Chains A and B, each alone.
Chain A
């Protein structure tokens, strides 16, 4: 039993699934489902379609280089059956899987570093720029209870309080 990869989205194709298209130069395009087949017929480039594995690899979303990927590889020569080898392989599979998942998590964490601060900064900027859409500037001026207590306060403790709601 051979598990192929979809030409478009690189997902695994189990036997009996999908469709394969044979071009006249004998290149075989395998597709996991009609979604991928249709996208191929529309001549879309999988590197430019966001949900495919190819896109995620090109744009650094997924882990690309790792030693755990070396185990899953297409081998043209079938391995001669060996009971011990088969046992060891079956034992190793969950371990390798676990390592791969943890490394992927680490990669994702690294990639998302600094995201929270960035969101915070953007939110603050939006609040500063867009407060006039919610309250007219004149209203803000004449009714000090609506604004953040800015002009009155001189004490350093309350200044920190003043900044605090802005950041949120």
Chain B
């Protein structure tokens, strides 16, 4: 059983990355390369929880924020939920400064979320749009695709700013 698995892995590894021909080193190189190349689609498939770092996809001035609290749900936030976050990286002259505590809506999540018809949707990365306490976006543009479920969450403004709706 283990032997067949190793041989299969080595075959796949060789075909994908042209690794060494021995079975066990082939296995290791494969797993290593997988983690490096597919870091978004393979690794970060969990809830948005405390210390999750998310990309900011608007022009509010922040680049990366770290989640410090999910406003709803015990396990954490998912696609469309609101989080409290602290700004970890920011552009030098933006509206939002580094170290500020902000609110944000998760507009893309690598963890799949069920849709109303029973199918599922997942994205490439974890991304957030910063909003104020009333739910109005701070920036004036939204980059990349956003899910249409934001309409149910009363974030129509983000939907109108977004270019692609998935």
Which A residues fall within an 8 A CB radius of B?
13, 15-24, 26, 28, 41-43
Most buried by B among A26, A28, A42: A26
Least Cβ–Cβ distance between A142 and chain B, in angstroms: 47
Are A19 and B145 CB-contacts (below 8 A) given A24-B124, A24-B125, A42-B12?
no
- Residues on A with C-beta less than 8 A from B108 are 22, 24
Q: Is the beta-carbon distance between B118 and A28 smaller than 8 angstroms?
A: no
B144 within 8 A of A: yes
CB within 8 A of B124: which of A20, A22, A41? A22
Residues in B neighbouring A26, C-beta threshold 8 A: 144-145, 163-164, 166
How many residue-residue contacts, CB under 8 A, span A and B? 52
User: Are A20 and B121 in contact, with the CB atoms below 8 A?
Assistant: yes
Contact mask for chain B residues 141-166; partner A; CB cutoff 8 A; 1 contact, 0 none: 00011010000000000000001101
What is the bound-complex CA distance between A23 and B110, given in angstroms? 10
Q: List 26 A-B contacts (CB under 8 A).
A: A13-B119, A15-B118, A16-B118, A17-B118, A17-B119, A18-B119, A18-B120, A19-B112, A19-B121, A19-B122, A20-B119, A20-B121, A21-B41, A22-B108, A22-B122, A22-B123, A22-B145, A22-B147, A22-B166, A24-B124, A24-B125, A24-B145, A26-B144, A26-B145, A26-B166, A41-B38
- With the chains together, A16 CA to B108 CA distance in Å? 21
B122 touches A21 (CB 8 A): yes
In the assembled complex, how far is the CB of residue B118 from the closest CB belonging to chain A, in whole angstroms? 3
Contact B124 A23 (CB under 8 A): yes
The answer to whether the Cβ of B16 comes within 8 Å of any Cβ in the partner chain is yes
- Measured CB to CB, the closest approach of chain B to A1, in angstroms, equals 10
